Amino acid sequence: MSKLSELLKKVYSHNPVRVEDLGYLLSLSKEEDLREIFAFADSVRRQFAGEGILVRGIIEFSNFCRNSCFYCGLNKSNKTLSRYRLSREEIMYSLSKLSGCGIKTVVLQSGEDDSLDPYWLKDIIAQIKSLFDIAVTLSVGERERYEYKLWRDAGADRYLLKIETTNSRLYKSLHPGMSFGNRLRCLQDLKELGYQVGSGNIIGLRGQSLKDIAEDIIFFQAGEFDMLGIGPFIPHAKTELGNEPSAQAALTLKALALTRIVTKDTHLPATTALGSLGQDFRPQGLSAGANVLMPNFTPQQYRRLYEIYPGKRCIDEPMGSCSISAIGVARRKKSTKSGCSTSSR
């Protein structure tokens, strides 16, 4: 057996996995090595997540944000961005489209909107749960525990809050006014309240080492998350990191593949950011451990305003349609009606 396949087996079977082993695997760059890592991850995906691609529709319902994250185009210092907040009617209209495609999970995402009334969102969750047979995932950032409880009691099923990086010093340097400890507190609260919790990181941040990414993967293993978004950094001109280079697709795919190998059955999206690196790398993601796609159901006129990074895929396509190409290229072609991708949970 080659040294690489022995190491992959070791990483697959050890809990906790060793940071040195992950760091070494992340450093490999030869084509044949990458192929072997991706193929191993693909077989783990097949074994633990099956052949189906889960489709989770996303509605980005507000781009207001109180934070100044150094990488994100929604940061509050970006005065050139027109801000929007969808009405309840607009959200319900998008939902009817999404549900009409047979999709069984909606992700309601926004910036950290100070004016978000927790009771308004609670009513929307309750209305969605009474009208549609659909799981509700929230992704609205750091909030108080009572708000998480309010939404959970109204029927919210899952919550997505990326840790972004587990290096607390790096976290601090990229998130002025925020605290790593509070982010961990939020993830803990969400778990205790019975949410299925999703997290994730950004690959290729300025000052991030391979060891940092390895530590992220160890955090993912310990956290037993429902879903993990592993996305590449893409620079946005109106941010502090606007002049930094984009993440390498290969490094992002390696981190994705190793996350699959280590966490086994976690749902891993081929992220929209992975589809927005100039080329669409989502098919490669789906062949290297990913099993989820997240088509966009934000109303067309608002979609380009949710510009967390530039060149975001699926800005102009009709609601939900632009995942089909990625599925077709990667594995099985499975589309139902035009504008829809196949459903899953």
Where do contacts with ligand SAH occur on this chain (CB under 6 A)? 71-72, 109, 111-112, 139, 141, 161-162, 164, 202, 231, 233-234, 236, 273, 308-309
The number of beta carbons lying within 10 Å of the beta carbon of residue 143 is 20
Q: Cβ 93 to ligand SAH, closest distance in Å? A: 22
Q: How far is 220 from 265, CA to CA, in rounded Å?
A: 12
For ligand SAH, the closer CB: 45 or 236:
236
Q: How far is 141 from 108, CA to CA, in rounded Å?
A: 11
Sign of CA dihedral 39, 260, 298, 106: positive
Q: Cβ 86 to ligand SAH, closest distance in Å? A: 15
Token pair 């035009």 is found at: 338
Q: How far is 155 from 106, CA to CA, in rounded Å?
A: 13
Q: How far is 227 from 263, CA to CA, in rounded Å?
A: 10
For ligand SAH, the closer CB: 44 or 158:
158
Q: Tell me, what amino acid is at 44? A: V
Q: Does residue 164 sit in helix, strand or coil?
A: strand
Q: Cβ 310 to ligand SAH, closest distance in Å? A: 8
For ligand SAH, the closer CB: 81 or 202:
202
For ligand SAH, the closer CB: 73 or 283:
73
Q: How far is 261 from 255, CA to CA, in rounded Å?
A: 10
For ligand SAH, the closer CB: 64 or 93:
64
